[in-house]
Amino acid sequence: MVEKIQRVAQEIEAAQIGNAAELEQFRIAYIGRKGAIASLFDDLKQVAPEQRRQVGQELNQLKNLAQARFDQAQEQLSSTTAGTATEAAFDFTLPPVPNTLGTRHPLSLVRSEIVRIFERIGFNVADGPEIEDDWHNFTALNFPENHPAREMQDTFFLSEDRDKLLRTHTSNVQVRLMENQKPPLRSIMPGRVYRNEAISARAHMMFHQVEGLYVNKGVSFKDLKETLYYFAKEMFGQDTRIRFRPSFFPFTEPSAEIDISCFICKGEGCNICKQSGWVEIGGAGMVDPNVLSNCGIDPEVYSGFAFGMGIERITMLKYQIRDLRLFTENDVRFLRQFKGVI
């Protein structure tokens, strides 16, 4: 029995374990339930009682030897495999990749610039819900019952009675501002708006607007013109000219379309301005007295002006972008063009 133990000990010390398969073979041959050491323990009952204690101690030493040999080989294989995997996962011959900064979306850039321009002349930023009711989106703004904007082909209604809808402009924020605060009021309202339109290079069902409102005693159309003159020169350059064309909006009277001189051709005519020398950027006018009354403001005491512009429109003009769909397609080739802009 002692000779068998010594022979197995020599085999354990001489065993070659160079890979996972050989390690598993070693475990089965010596440590497993049917291995050599388990077989020797089974033979222990055949040993004479007076020798059984000594032989049992040698068997325990043999078992510890086999377990230590197994643990050592397993640790060596694990460290070797980890090192190989790390080296294989990284190719040290590759050129270094420089750290690059992310880019801001062009609409975010222009929106931030618009906010900064108006903040310098005393306007703060107001916000409101995108899911709106009929009163704040239409009725309070002097829209008649039969106005085309109330039809299904123009508005996303969310209820059968058409009282819940996705706002079609940020003018709803103007109504809520006038209802909840007393004049003087001087705010701009940037945000998303929704209209039921087919998506094309020049139109989208979701886009961004910025509207402005100033209500106080003695506000005149001259104040509106000076405000928009300042904005146009700050946004598009000091050589920019601005003109107002008579128009109609339910919530302003008088109303006007806002045009700026084309900063691409300097008024000489190009494909951006359709050879006219002018490009439209929005609409404006004096707040209709009915709107002031609807919001609880006395039109005999206060007057005000309002204006609205599409942020996509301004962005397309500023960066000469010709397709509105580029703003929502998330194409990194398009977005990377603005990485140098802050």
Annotated binding-site positions: 253
Sign of CA dihedral 72, 74, 78, 84: positive
3-state secondary structure 192-240: EEECCCCCCCCCCCEEEEEEEEEEECCCCHHHHHHHHHHHHHHHHCCCC
DSSP H/E element including 185: strand 185-194
Q: List b or e across 286-318, with b for residues whose CB sees 16 or more CB atoms inside 10 angstroms.
A: bbbbebbebbebeeeebbbbbbbbbbbbbbbbe
**Which amino acid is it at 127?**
D
DSSP assigned state of 157: B
293/298 Cα distance (integer angstroms): 6
Which structure tokens are listed for 284?
A: 């404006």
User: What does the CA dihedral 297, 186, 285, 170 come to, rounded to 10 degrees?
Assistant: -90
Binding-site residues for Mg(2+) sit at: 253
Residue (of 270, 251, 259, 248) closest to 314 by Cα position: 259
Which structure tokens are listed for 29?
A: 């041959």
- ∠ CA(334), CA(340), CA(342), 5° rounding? 105
Residue (of 131, 127, 132, 133) closest to 191 by Cα position: 127
Residue (of 229, 236, 281, 245) closest to 263 by Cα position: 236
